[in-house]
Amino acid sequence: MTRVVVTGVGIVSGVCTGGAAALGPALESGRSAIGPVTAFSTDGFACHLAAEVPSATLVDLIDVSEGRRLSRVSQLAVTAGRLAVRDAGIEGHPDVHLVVGTEFGDLRSTEEFAAGYLARGVAGLSPLAFPNTVMNTMASAVAIALGLRGASITLNCRRVPGELAVARAVALVAGGRAQRVIAGGVDEVSPLVFRVLGGFGALSCENGHAEGCRPYDRTANGAVLGEGAAFLVIESLDSARTRGARALAEIRAAAWHSGVRTPTIETALAAARVSADQIAWIYSAAPGDPREDAAQLRALRHSPGLGEVALTSLAPLAGAHAGLGPLHVAAATWTAAAGWLPGIATLAEPLATAAVGPGLHRVASRPGLVHGVARRGDQVALVVAPV
């Protein structure tokens, strides 16, 4: 089986923007991007917090013509893609595949398109907005902007589309079907999603505890939405060595199944030839929703030996969105190399003894796990290790 490594990182988020070099300082600082929503009014909404990308970020990274032509979520994706290929040193390489995960796609453009029709009928339909109403609009924008000629795949699922995109990219390279793949996730905070999810009680709000993102904490009362894009360059170790590229970490194996009772973690560990007691740390997709956090813990405890492994989540820094999973994988490459694990920034009353609190925690230089599960939905596991 072909060995698979990460050679590039591109992140555009409220936590940090840049390549692999920008991520370490951001994790060390523990600074959260979560704050009051500024992109639109939340008056009358149940929730008021999100992890937004500052408006000035894209102004500095997108040229004027692209700013006019591309929707905001596509701008996030294109910028992160460019940062990733630059970080990996593969700018101008056309034979690269692309896998993009998203939960909601370009919902702002879809809402604009529908609103035009509702207001003015057929005359109100915008030919400029229509191409952005399909889920693969971000992948198309990235492929065109970067001149990619490989396959372009878009994945939609609840909570773990970014992890799934990375896992599918790993499978493409490990199976010999691709030498290099750009993979990751992107979403933006949409007023419609924010209002609807908040109204359904799917987000954190003032309901006995303060609004906020608190994974594995007794005071957790829901997820806080985030936005941004995180992309990784996944390639074969042989390819990286041939071109003299730096390998940030190895992804030993990836597995995914539908359903929280499936042996996804066990499948990934077996494929990586790693036992549970060799896993030194875990990045979990836990968003601070008590039910989803519980599903994460059940899946981990189903694998003997993982129940007491140091456990963290970056959701309190970046919020819940499709870019969180690839951000966890990028952070895992840093942990594998540096031997430090950033704790859960908001943890005060832990539900799980393995959950680590604020600050950096020293961990062994051994393989770790990136894990995500959507309650009653998909589950993804990736084994990340030092090269």
CB 359 within 8 Å of CB 30: yes
Q: Tell me, what's the pLDDT at 367?
A: 98
Q: Tell me, what's the pLDDT at 76?
A: 98
Distance (Å, whole) CA 159 – CA 289: 11
Retrieve residue 109's tokens. Answer: 């453009």
Per-residue pLDDT reduced to its tens digit, 67-118:
888 999 999 999 999 999 999 999 999 899 999 999 999 998 988 888 898 8
Distance (Å, whole) CA 151 – CA 168: 12
Q: Which residues of the chain have pLDDT under 70?
A: 260
Alpha helices in the chain (DSSP H): 20-29, 55-61, 64-69, 72-88, 107-120, 137-146, 161-174, 191-199, 237-242, 264-272, 290-301, 315-318, 324-338
Q: Tell me, what's the pLDDT at 260?
A: 62
Query: DSSP label at 372?
Result: E
- Domains (ranges, CATH) in the chain? 4-385 (3.40.47.10)
* pTM assigned to the model: 0.96
Helix or strand or coil: residue 5?
strand
Pairing of strands 152-156, 228-236: unpaired
Q: Tell me, what's the pLDDT at 168?
A: 98
Q: Tell me, what's the pLDDT at 99?
A: 98
Q: Tell me, what's the pLDDT at 305?
A: 87
Distance (Å, whole) CA 42 – CA 237: 48
Helices H / strands E in the chain, number of each? 13, 15
Helix or strand or coil: residue 239?
helix
